């Protein structure tokens, strides 16, 4: 089957769909000094150089670097994945300030100033990153939105435009990123920008670390944002005694057993173990179809309140709320076909197998790190830039409970079980081994089997805990997602300050009621929060 236009290939060299968007050409903007630099050119350049060093994006020697196995996987036809980050801004876009900021930061980043090169004439030559000169006019996009649409419903107009990006290929002769400027006020923000980048450039942790390097604290614009504390939730420290030694030995045995079981299930899922057919599961070719990106704002304080009441972690709460919301949606969608007037249709779905592919950061040190740390090229760097991710298959509990907190208990049980397993580490290293021994096509086939036999993708990522500015523009919200993989539903939670953004990437045809699914999540969190307060 020939891939539709959403799966662009590395051989493309000319921009397409130009009628849907316009690029700037020849903006008369002096980007040498930063905005507001005044006449002190020398001091301004010194401050800019110092900021680049602090952020980890100072100039480096141009060269070549081989692509990682994960980066190569994201080039494959069925995994041509892109990350989309929508930033709501608190003020209209100052184009000059944004251009100057990009020139000082993003343009100097090794990945964002490199192209992917493959020598087709030579056998067994790995694709590699090659540094190039970045023309910022090729990467800043200023779309012509319909004035009537933006006046009638600006939120929908922005949503439609961001969704249209999933159908537009990128030009692989340039660095694979774009910044789309949507200077349209919406219900939540005065304007928005959309950063679209190919997933081979880095994973979610890398992207958020890069974003934080491109921002400054709103309270003190002279410093980078403070990193959010790493999530706690590991087992309590045991006292130094024989009992602790026995507990340690037992935990190792449990870890080994759980890893063997999880790896066996992962391999079975890649080959034949398929989820139950539900309204959430995609059909063949879903990775090539248009995706719609929708989001809503939840209260992070509500999530933390449930966390404290249930003595669990934020991720435990998010897993439980997701189970509750999916259950609400599922039983509402299937009620008409299952309820024939006799019995309880909710009890006839006890054994629903609904699992997600969950990306896990396998860096030895969890949480976010400064970009300067991640760009350290030393071999012993445990938090280096790139796609340092493994996969786990995470099951979700689909049922109807009178007690909303039962979803949280089940979510905590599932998360605790997965924490006592090395499934993510195994899938990362075994994936690299498969690439080396059998090639990228074999690794892509195994991953494709795992995705098509599971139902959805799920992830959560912590963002800045304080208000930050994007090149002088206060950020109101951050909504990130991904597309290009074979799932019809991707659920992502993104925290920022005291809010939690819930973002979906859904098959546009399969989920015409995606906003209703958002409401199911909001209502599920409300019910769980209410029950936890009692």
Quote the pLDDT of residue 331. 94
**What is the mean predicted confidence (pLDDT) over 132-151?**
93
Residues 25-64 have pLDDT tens digits of: 333 223 233 333 333 444 444 544 444 444 444 444 445 7
Indicate if the pLDDT at residue 375 is higher than 60. Answer: no
Quote the pLDDT of residue 428. 82
Question: Are the C-beta atoms of residues 145 and 160 closer than 8 Å to each other?
Answer: no
Tokens standing for 23? Answer: 């690029």
Helix (H, G, I), strand (E, B) or coil at 35: coil
Q: Which residues, listed in sequence order, are joined to residue 65 by a DSSP beta bridge?
A: 129
Per-residue CA distances from 188 to 154, 185, 295, 313, 476 (Å): 10, 8, 12, 29, 8
Indicate if the pLDDT at residue 374 is higher than 80. Answer: no
What is the pTM for the complete model shown? 0.81
Measure the N-to-C terminal CA separation of the chain; round to a whole number of Å: 55
Per-residue pLDDT band for 212 (boundaries 50, 70, 90) equals confident
Quote the pLDDT of residue 117. 86
Which has more confidence, 329 or 534?
A: 329
Q: What is the DSSP letter of 78?
A: G
Q: Which helix H or strand E contains 447, and what residues bound it?
A: helix 440-453
Which has more confidence, 338 or 444?
A: 444
Q: Where are the alpha helices (DSSP H) in 214-339?
A: 242-271, 300-310, 314-338
Question: Are the C-beta atoms of residues 287 and 78 closer than 8 Å to each other?
Answer: yes
Lowest mean pLDDT among 214-223, 312-321, 378-387: 378-387
Q: Among positive and negative, which fits the CA dihedral 32, 34, 37, 38?
A: positive
**What is the mean predicted confidence (pLDDT) over 508-532?**
96
Instruction: Write out the catalytic residue numbers.
Output: 199
């Amino acid at each position: 089957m020939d891939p539709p236009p959403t799966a662009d290939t590395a051989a493309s060299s000319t921009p397409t769909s130009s009628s849907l968007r316009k690029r700037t050409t020849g903006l008369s903007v002096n980007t040498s000094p930063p905005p507001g630099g005044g006449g002190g050119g020398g001091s301004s350049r010194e401050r800019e150089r110092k900021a680049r060093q602090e952020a980890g994006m100072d100039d480096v020697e141009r060269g070549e670097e081989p692509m990682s196995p994960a980066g190569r996987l994201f080039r494959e036809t069925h995994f041509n994945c892109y990350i989309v980050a929508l930033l709501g801004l608190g003020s209209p876009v100052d184009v000059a300030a944004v251009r100057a900021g990009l020139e000082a930061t993003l343009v100097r980043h090794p990945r964002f100033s490199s192209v992917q090169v493959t020598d087709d004439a030579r056998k067994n030559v790995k694709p590699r990153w090659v540094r190039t000169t970045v023309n910022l006019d090729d990467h800043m996009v200023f779309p012509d939105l319909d004035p009537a649409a933006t006046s009638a419903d600006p939120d929908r107009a922005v949503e439609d435009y961001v969704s249209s990006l999933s159908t537009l290929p990128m030009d692989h002769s340039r660095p694979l990123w774009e910044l789309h400027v949507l200077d349209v006020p919406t219900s939540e923000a005065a304007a928005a920008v959309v950063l679209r980048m190919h997933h081979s450039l880095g994973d979610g942790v890398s992207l958020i670390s890069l974003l934080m390097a491109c921002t400054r604290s709103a309270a003190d614009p002279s410093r980078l944002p403070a990193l959010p504390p790493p999530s706690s939730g590991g087992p309590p420290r045991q006292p130094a005694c024989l009992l602790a030694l026995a507990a340690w030995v037992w935990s190792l045995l449990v870890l080994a057993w759980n890893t063997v079981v999880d790896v066996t299930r992962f391999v079975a899922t890649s080959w034949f173990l398929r989820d139950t057919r539900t309204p959430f599961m995609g059909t063949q070719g879903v990775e090539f179809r248009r995706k719609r990106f929708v989001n809503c704002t939840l209260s992070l304080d509500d999530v933390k309140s449930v966390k404290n009441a249930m003595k669990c972690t934020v991720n435990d709460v998010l897993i439980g709320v997701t189970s509750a919301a999916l259950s609400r949606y599922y039983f509402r969608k299937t009620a008409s076909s299952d309820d024939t007037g006799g019995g309880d249709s909710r009890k006839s779905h006890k054994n629903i197998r609904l699992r997600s592919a969950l990306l896990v950061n396998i860096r030895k040190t969890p949480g976010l790190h400064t970009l300067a740390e991640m760009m350290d090229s030393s071999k012993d760097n445990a938090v280096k830039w790139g796609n340092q991710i493994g996969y786990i298959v995470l099951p979700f509990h689909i049922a109807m409970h009178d007690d909303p907190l039962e979803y949280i208990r089940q979510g905590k049980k599932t998360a605790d079980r997965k924490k006592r397993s090395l499934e993510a580490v195994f899938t990362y290293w075994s994936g690299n081994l498969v690439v080396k021994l059998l090639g990228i096509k074999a690794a892509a086939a195994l991953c494709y089997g795992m995705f098509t036999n599971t139902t959805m993708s799920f992830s959560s990522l912590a963002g800045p805990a304080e208000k930050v500015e994007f090149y002088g523009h206060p950020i109101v919200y951050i909504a990130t997602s991904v597309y290009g993989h074979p799932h019809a539903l991707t659920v992502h939670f993104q925290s920022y300050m005291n809010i939690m953004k819930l973002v979906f990437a859904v098959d546009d045809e399969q989920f015409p009621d995606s906003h209703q699914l958002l409401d199911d999540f909001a209502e599920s969190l409300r019910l769980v929060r209410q029950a936890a307060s009692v």
